Amino acid sequence: MGARIVLFGATGYTGARTAEAMVGRGLRPVLAGRDPQRLAALAQRLGGLETAVAQVTDEASVAALVGRGDVLVSTVGPFTELGTPAVAAAAGAGAVYLDSTGEPPFIRAVYERWGPAAERTGAALLTAFGNDYVPGVLAGALALRAAGEGADRVDIGYFISGLGKGRPFSRGTLRSLAGIATQPLYAWRDGALRTEPAGARMRTFDVAGRPRAGVTIGASEQFALPRIAPGLRTVDVYLGWFGRASGAVHAGARAAPLLSRVPSRAVATVADVLTRRVPADPAAEALAAARSHFVAEVFDVTGTLLARTRLTAPEPYAITADLLAWGAGRAAEHGVRGSGALDAVAAFGLDELVEGAAEAGIVASPGDDPR
């Protein structure tokens, strides 16, 4: 394997799990971060991996780690605050870049700001390459293939069931959610990307035999699925993690125009205060029996359901670690298709992604009817 794999942010919760998943696949990533002692301890635990110190705010120190064709995996968040140096370094070097973000403003910046720069250098930028939002892109692509001609709208839903006691999210996840709560997001409406607040729409999906509500959020699907099916006029992604609070999130969207006037630095400070005392790692007992559910439904212009795909998987952090490990390994060995900002289907092909997702435990729901 000629290309070098560098894992930036290796000592964080998601980074450490990704490092473990990479080693489990026989990969030998360079573990990069800002704390040499923690890096050394993790590297020793994982079999004596190489380490490198890089500063999260210093693009030059990250750029020194990768060259053309190398693979840079970033798990450093919140990405809207800390993610730019890594993606800029990869774009400048002509490297392959993957990250674990789920933050819509950062995803949009990768596609709209850094994608054109990456095309000029031959870099490939695969943002949100984890539970957020590869499973929905995969489910949507499969449903579109099953639907054939006439697809007008795709709805994607993300849900979790079987959570045990304790907090199921890491401090980083909660910090990211709090940080983007007041920011304008986006949707694919009337055949174009439109700015709108999170939670602007709400609907229910049939998930594991029961109705579950979700609210809209910006994601990767609004960029990926119209590339797969250029005739799509609507792509909506619904997040169903809020349970009974979904209605309150939906109602809160009305206040978004006022909240968006709050300076981003003030929002970041408040988010930091709110999450400072939260433990860094999620509660293991909360995730032990959790299952992730992804639903994609394709409709024609009359609102008739053409196809439905349901996927199930382990808990979100396991999905993210395994997908990042698979994507990095495959990119290092075989490269990716194309350059610029790419989704998982464009980078690897749908059939290859189906196989890689299955290795991460993302599979079709047993006995699912495609309609």
Strands 305-313, 363-364: pairing kind:
antiparallel
Which amino acid makes up residue 82? L
Distance CA 144, CA 29 (A): 36
Which positions ≥6 away from 304 have C-beta within 8 Å?
none
Of the listed ranges 127-131, 158-162, 196-200, the least confidently predicted one is 196-200
The predicted-structure confidence for 180-215, as pLDDT tens digits, reads as follows 666 788 999 999 999 998 889 999 999 988 999 999
Domain 5-131+318-353, second-level architecture = 3-Layer(aba) Sandwich (3.40)
pLDDT of residue 176: 64
The predicted-structure confidence for 221-280, as pLDDT tens digits, reads as follows 999 999 999 999 999 999 998 777 777 777 766 655 544 455 555 545 555 555 566 676
From the list 184, 182, 57, the residue with the least C-alpha distance to 108 is 184
pLDDT of residue 196: 92
- What confidence category does residue 369 fall into, taking pLDDT thresholds of 50, 70 and 90? very low
The predicted-structure confidence for 268-327, as pLDDT tens digits, reads as follows 555 555 556 667 677 788 778 899 999 999 999 999 999 999 999 999 999 999 999 999
Phi, psi of 8 (to 5 degrees): -95, 130
pTM of the model: 0.91
From the list 172, 203, 194, 185, the residue with the least C-alpha distance to 297 is 203
Distance CA 158, CA 143 (A): 15
The predicted-structure confidence for 22-66, as pLDDT tens digits, reads as follows 999 999 999 999 999 999 999 999 999 999 999 888 999 999 999
The tokens describing 212, both together, are: 């579950």
pLDDT of residue 273: 55
Distance CA 213, CA 241 (A): 9
pLDDT of residue 285: 82
Residue 216 parent element (H or E) = strand 210-216
Strand partners, 207: 210
pLDDT for 161 beyond 70: yes
pLDDT for 179 beyond 50: yes
pLDDT of residue 149: 92
pLDDT of residue 276: 63
pLDDT for 170 beyond 50: yes
pLDDT of residue 269: 59
Q: What integer is the mean pLDDT of 136-140?
A: 98
The predicted-structure confidence for 67-96, as pLDDT tens digits, reads as follows 999 999 999 989 999 999 999 999 999 999
Strand partners, 72: 6, 97
CB 33 within 8 A of CB 10: yes
What ranges do the domains of the chain cover? Answer: 5-131+318-353, 134-315
Phi, psi of 38 (to 5 degrees): -65, -35
pLDDT of residue 289: 87
Class of domain 134-315 (CATH, top level): alpha beta
pLDDT of residue 277: 64
pLDDT of residue 371: 43
CB 348 within 8 A of CB 357: no
Distance CA 169, CA 282 (A): 5
Which of 367 and 203 is assigned the larger pLDDT? 203
pLDDT for 370 beyond 50: no
